């Protein structure tokens, strides 16, 4: 998650932002891989496999874009993910992981949507961004469905989703406050 200060992509040098994107995708792939071990239905196993493929492809698309712009792939800190887990606590169940994935996918999608609307965005960024946004929209929707299905069996699932949403709001508020005083 990129705070207000980083919302405009420098069209001459998008490498910094592309490295943020890439790192988020790699992190996402890792989280999906860990969660896949706990999947308890054939549907979820299948969806998580496709999801894992998507995040790995996204990481590669951004890697290639970084190199096309003459940049270097670097590891970057991920303050949003760190704060999100700090506020939520250690995920202990599949439902915890799904809820955390839902909020971070929604957050990632809204950032991508914000950026894709930037008028002076280079085509070499906009093209992959458009394709990635389609995948991200599917991630949000199938995870939402999986959670709703679980909620039909267990009402407490709604509380877990709410807790993840609160953790997300707090994480973002902290990052924005920090960026404003920086
Ligand atoms: Fe992705
Ligand atoms: Fe995603």
Ligand closest to Cα of 32 equals 2
**Inside any domain, residue 59:** yes
Residues around the ion ligand 1 (C-beta < 5 A):
25, 55, 58
Residue range 109-119, pLDDT digits in tens: 999 999 999 99
Residue range 16-48, pLDDT digits in tens: 999 999 999 999 999 999 999 999 999 999 999
Give the model's pLDDT for residue 92. Answer: 94
**Inside any domain, residue 155:** yes
CA 89–ligand 1 middle distance (angstroms):
23
**Inside any domain, residue 2:** no
Positive or negative torsion for Cα 132, 137, 138, 143: positive
**Inside any domain, residue 97:** yes
CA 136–ligand 2 middle distance (angstroms):
4
**Inside any domain, residue 114:** yes
**Inside any domain, residue 8:** no
Q: Which domain holds residue 87?
A: 13-181
Structure-block tokens of residue 145: 């469905």
Residue range 51-106, pLDDT digits in tens: 999 999 999 999 999 999 999 999 998 899 999 999 999 999 999 999 999 999 99
The DSSP H or E segment spanning 37 is: none
Ligand closest to Cα of 23 equals 1
**Inside any domain, residue 7:** no
Q: Tell me the C-alpha distance between 160 and 90, whole Å.
A: 13
CA 104–ligand 1 middle distance (angstroms):
10
Ligand closest to Cα of 101 equals 2
**Inside any domain, residue 6:** no
Domain count of the fold of the chain? 1
CATH of the domain at 57: 1.20.1260.10
Give the model's pLDDT for residue 2. Answer: 65
Half-sphere exposure of 5 (CA within 13 A, CB side): 9
CA 1–ligand 1 middle distance (angstroms):
13
pTM (two decimals): 0.93
Q: How many residues does the chain have?
A: 182
| pLDDT, mean over the chain | 94
């Amino acid at each position: 998650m990129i705070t207000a200060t980083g919302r405009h992509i420098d069209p001459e040098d998008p490498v910094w932002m592309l490295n943020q994107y890439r790192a988020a995708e790699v992190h996402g792939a890792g989280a999906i891989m860990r969660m896949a071990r706990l999947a308890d239905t054939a549907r979820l196993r299948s969806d998580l496999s496709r999801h894992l493929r998507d995040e790995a492809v996204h990481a590669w698309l951004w890697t290639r874009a970084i190199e096309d712009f003459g940049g270097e792939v670097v590891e970057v800190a991920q303050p949003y993910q760190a704060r999100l887990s700090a506020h939520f606590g250690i995920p202990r169940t599949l439902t915890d992981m799904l809820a955390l994935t839902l909020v971070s996918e929604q957050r990632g999608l809204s950032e991508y949507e914000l950026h894709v609307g930037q008028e002076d965005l280079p085509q070499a960024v906009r093209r992959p961004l458009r394709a990635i946004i389609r995948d991200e929209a599917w991630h949000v929707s199938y995870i939402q469905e999986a959670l709703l299905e679980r909620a039909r069996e267990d009402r407490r699932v709604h509380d877990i989703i709410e807790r993840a949403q609160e953790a997300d709001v707090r994480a973002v508020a902290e990052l924005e406050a920090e960026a404003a005083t920086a």
